[in-house]
Amino acid sequence: MEDARIIVVTGLSGSGKSTALAAFEDAGCYCVDNLPVALLPKLLELPLDSEAAVAGLVFVMDLREKGFVQRYPSVFEALRQRGIAPEVIFLEAEERVLVQRYSATRRQHPLGQDKPLREAIAAEAALLAPLRASAARIIDTTHLNVHQLKAMMFNIARQGARPAPLNIHVVSFGFKHGLPHEADLVVDVRFLTNPFFDPALRRLDGDSEPIRRFVHGDPEAGEFLKRYLDLLDYLIPLYEKEGKAYLTIAMGCTGGRHRSVVMARAVFEHLQARGRRVSLAHRDIGLAGETTGA
């Protein structure tokens, strides 16, 4: 593990360390929350089977560990003597915002057992002041929302490391069976000619060659795919930049048996050809009845 990039996330309680850790994990890092600082050297000596695929090692350490302030200087110095330099990211926020966040979550401050919240926040800031002064990055999260902080952590994770690819899931469905709740993008392809009304095709599904030929034979199918695939090629890098880990693209027709299946496969094959990490599912291919158009 010693050759991997090592990041220590620390700072004031309520400043967003949990959000930061989740972002690093989504970016392909190996993450540990609330690691006792004395265990860090031992952990770095352990082999990591998937090391080649890990973008970095990220550890959250703070005053939840009693004795953290007293122990971290000697531990970090011992690591430096071994040629290991942890990159310390210190998160903080204005006192009024920390108070608001604690009021919203109703969690207890690590130093709040015997003092009011504002005093606990001030005491923590004083104890961590030397660590803050030595940090590689100091990030004030006062005016950052969750998505902005996550995007910032993604950018840090990507520096010097290859980010984890966006996981894309393409699903076909039938509107009469309800929208897929997990869908990020939904497109309605009911404007295409419906093969359901051809008695010779009705019992087939969109994975059959006759249905594919029929749907792609619609003059609008080619133009639609060109425009929609161009849109996806434009949007997907933006989702990655924002820090999105998963994207579900849903293609819907009436029953989810014919048109949506063909279009979903076309989207899947396009993304697969571009080297994207993509999967395909036909949610309702076996559910469409014969009394209404599929």
Task: Indicate yes or no: pTM above 0.75.
Answer: no
The H-assigned helical ranges of 30-170 are: 40-44, 68-81, 95-105, 117-134, 146-158
What is the rounded distance in angstroms from the CA atom of residue 165 to the CA atom of residue 73?
36
pLDDT, average across residues 155-173: 78
Task: Return the sign of the alpha-carbon dihedral for residues 192, 198, 201, 203.
Answer: positive
Do 25 and 105 touch, CB atoms closer than 8 A?
no
The Cα diameter of the chain in Å comes to: 79
Strand pairing category for 246-253 and 57-60: unpaired
Beta strands in the chain (DSSP E): 6-11, 30-33, 57-60, 87-92, 137-140, 167-174, 185-188, 246-253, 277-282
**pLDDT score for 294:** 64
Cβ proximity of 139 and 218 under 8 Å: no
For the chain, give the mean pLDDT: 89
Q: Domain residue spans in the chain?
A: 6-158, 167-282
Domain 6-158 belongs in CATH node 2.40.50.140? no
Average pLDDT of the segment spanning 237-263: 90
| pLDDT at residue 157 in the model | 84
For residue 293, what pLDDT band results from cuts at 50, 70 and 90?
low
| pLDDT at 291 (0 to 100) | 42
104-140 pLDDT, tens per residue? Answer: 877 889 888 888 999 999 999 999 999 999 999 999 9
In this prediction, residue 182 has a pLDDT band, given cuts at 50, 70 and 90, of confident
| Residue 2 scores a pLDDT above 60 | no
Closest C-alpha to 289, from 265, 264, 250, 254: 254
| 3-class DSSP state of 292 | coil
Looking at per-residue pLDDT, the higher value among 53 and 195 belongs to 195
Phi, psi of 10 (to 5 degrees): -145, -175
DSSP label of 194: P
pLDDT, position 1: 52
Give me the sign of the Cα torsion angle 60, 63, 65, 71. positive
Percent pLDDT > 90 in the chain is 64
The pLDDT assigned to 58 comes to 95
Mind listing the pLDDT tens digit for each residue in 10-20?
999 999 999 99
* In the predicted structure, residue 40 carries a pLDDT above the cut 60: yes
Q: Is 164 a residue whose pLDDT tops 70?
A: no
Helices 219-242, 259-273: crossing angle, 10 deg rounding: 50
Instruction: With a cut of 50, say whether residue 290 has pLDDT above it.
Output: no
> Which residues, at least 6 apart from 110, have a Cβ–Cβ distance to it below 8 Å?
13, 62, 63, 64, 120, 124
State the average pLDDT over residues 47-68: 80
Does residue 44 carry a pLDDT above 70? yes
